[in-house]
Structure 1
Amino acid sequence: MNIVIYGTGGVGGYFGARLAQAGNNVTFIARGKHLETIQQKGLQLKSPKGDYLVYPANATSDISEVKDIDLVLVCTKTWQVAEVSEILKPVLNENTMVISLLNGCNNHEVITSVIGEKHVLGGLCKIVSFVENYGVINHVAYNPTIVFGELNNKKTERVLALETTLKNAKITYQLAEDIQKEIWTKYLFITTISALGALTRAALGEMLASPYIKNMMQKTAEEIFAVAKAKGVNLPEDSIQKQFEIIESLPFETTASLQRDIMDGKPSELEAQNGTIVRFGQELNVPTPINDLIYYSLLPQENRARKVK
């Protein structure tokens, strides 16, 4: 496949490297010194599942240089999705697939509103990875997994072709029976831990070791579950229990990207995570007091990072 990785961070860098390793024609969209290093030295992947150097690596900051694109994996930050969608619009051909692997529950809706539904599949990923240095991606935890599917859950020729591509790249994948359920399950997981980690400035293991904070995590998850149900998402009743089993299996020192961004004074995905739950709760008359507390406590720092007065 001719694949574009839009955003070569921990997520895009990992999956792009594995797809390139399998022989796909992969172009990495990056910028600044990260881009320069990839162009000069390649993209270095460090992983318990095997290191790999993509060299030479196709890398650019301008997607208009890429022709005949079969698949775009959007791996930026959630607040960039609308802007990225506008950039993608002119380069799409009749058969280009676009999948967001970002955190959040409605990225596909934002993309669809710009480029139209026919190009868009639902998607998400599961991985703990980050940019260690310019041109270096470090995968540190979790079996990297891509979950995807048509928004109407049909098993079309294109999703079956993508399934084959991921299988050949030895990437763990799931062709979803209900993509909305899968998106919200991941959303419940990541929103339960990320902003609370930023608020406490604590690693995941430290939060779990505190009965008070762990109880806050539980109540955060319960509110997200209630909002999902009010929106008609078919989440199983044991969703919270299963996500906590995963949370408790992660390394003690685990931190989420939102947490790291806020602690570093950078713009974060706060609005896409707890902020969205607060907004949906207000719209649906579902109380979300814990998410309210987390969101509004962190909002001044978020506004400062975004230079919002």
Structure 2
Amino acid sequence: MSTKHKIKKISLIGLGAMGSFFAPRLEKAYGEGFRIIADGERKKRLETEGVTINGVNYRFPVITPQTEGDKADLILIGVKGYALEQAIQDIRNQVGEHTLILSLLNGVDSEEKLEAVYGEEHVLYAFMRMSIVMKDGKADFDPYWGKIHFGEKINQEYSERVLRVKEVFDCADIPYEIEEDMRKGIWFKYMCNIGENLTCALLGIPFGVYRNNEDANWLRRNAMREVAAIAQRKGIDIGEKEIALQEETVKTIPYENKLSTLQDLEAGKRTEIEMFAGTVIRMGRELGVPTPINEVLYHGIRVLEEKN
């Protein structure tokens, strides 16, 4: 790999669950070459109180969106779905000629939104498979249970851009996988998130209930089928085979684990329901795919948000 555009400076925006997976290891590997993008009260809080990850309090270097002349070679976006539009603007001064951008969000359209602003030449595809508990602003997780999946849309051979990012994750000891078909991987993860995450949130149940409760599984599988039907209309080959593959995975997750939407509800926070079921409903209407299960999940979780 050419060292001409070797990644030396890395900026992360969003230091919640997703960002916490990366920040300690990137700081250890890259030192002052790693920094957090934050502004206002969040910047002040990160500088004065820090952030606690797996029992350790960190004070990462912080730069503001207004910082100029110090471009990043790699930008990681770890904000919630409803904060993506603002994050796209906040990273503007960090994007240089050879900057690469990875979105860690749960949805299926963040790469398209980034490409619309910064161009395909700056954007790689990515998604996360992980389990993190966020409570009282603290993140707890097994750093080797879960990984980032990333790459070009298709990765039969690794591009120079992919190799640059691969070197970063190797250096920082961050688990990863380079999927051959990233769009299919993103949609598979999205389908699972819709079924598992939202059903847990609506019913107020931990992940382990899926091991033996067929009523919860009925909701989970049928919500997933609606996403699969939309994916098929978009030319992405996901269906019953992929839904069946997930049956073994749900049995391996710790029984007491609570997924992000339920964690948000229990903490009285805003959820990503618009990015999840809201987007499914919108795409379903555009493509003529009925989405009754997602409509129930959407409106039910909206009620729970207002209840908070």
Q: TM-score range by the shorter chain?
A: 0.7 to 0.9
- When normalised by structure 2's length, the TM-score is 0.86
Give the aligned partner of residue 262 of structure 1. 265
Deviation larger for 56-65 or 179-188: 56-65
2:68 counterpart of 1:68: no
Gaps spanning 5+ residues in structure 2: where? 1-7
Between the aligned partners of 1:278 and 1:28, the Cα distance in structure 2 is 34
Equivalent residue runs for 1:1-309 within 5 Å: 1-23=8-30, 25-30=33-38, 35-36=43-44, 38-40=46-48, 43-46=51-54, 54=58, 57-62=60-65, 64=67, 67-134=70-137, 136-140=138-142, 143-151=145-153, 153=155, 155-235=158-238, 238-302=241-305
Identity of aligned residues (%): 28
Gaps spanning 5+ residues in structure 1: where? none
Between the aligned partners of 1:137 and 1:63, the Cα distance in structure 2 is 28
Task: Report Cα offsets for 1:214-242 as digits up to 9, x if no partner.
Answer: 11111111221121111111337521122
8 Å contact 1:9–1:130 — kept in the other structure?
A: no
Letter in 2 for 1:18: R
SS in 2 for 1:98: strand
- When normalised by structure 1's length, the TM-score is 0.86
Between the aligned partners of 1:191 and 1:222, the Cα distance in structure 2 is 10
Deviation larger for 228-237 or 178-187: 228-237
Alpha-carbon distance, 1:5 to partner: 1.1
Alpha-carbon distance, 1:143 to partner: 1.5
Letter in 2 for 1:138: D
Task: Report Cα offsets for 1:116-142 as digits up to 9, x if no partner.
Answer: 2221111111111144445x4311587
Between the aligned partners of 1:151 and 1:90, the Cα distance in structure 2 is 26
Alpha-carbon distance, 1:151 to partner: 3.5
Alpha-carbon distance, 1:39 to partner: 2.8
Alpha-carbon distance, 1:144 to partner: 2.6
Letter in 2 for 1:15: F
Task: Report Cα offsets for 1:151-180 as digits up to 9, x if no partner.
Answer: 454732121111111112221111221110
RMSD of aligned alpha carbons: 2.6
Query: 1:140/1:133 Cα in 2 relative to 1: closer, same or farther (>3 Å)?
Result: farther
Between the aligned partners of 1:89 and 1:31, the Cα distance in structure 2 is 14
Deviation larger for 164-173 or 19-28: 19-28
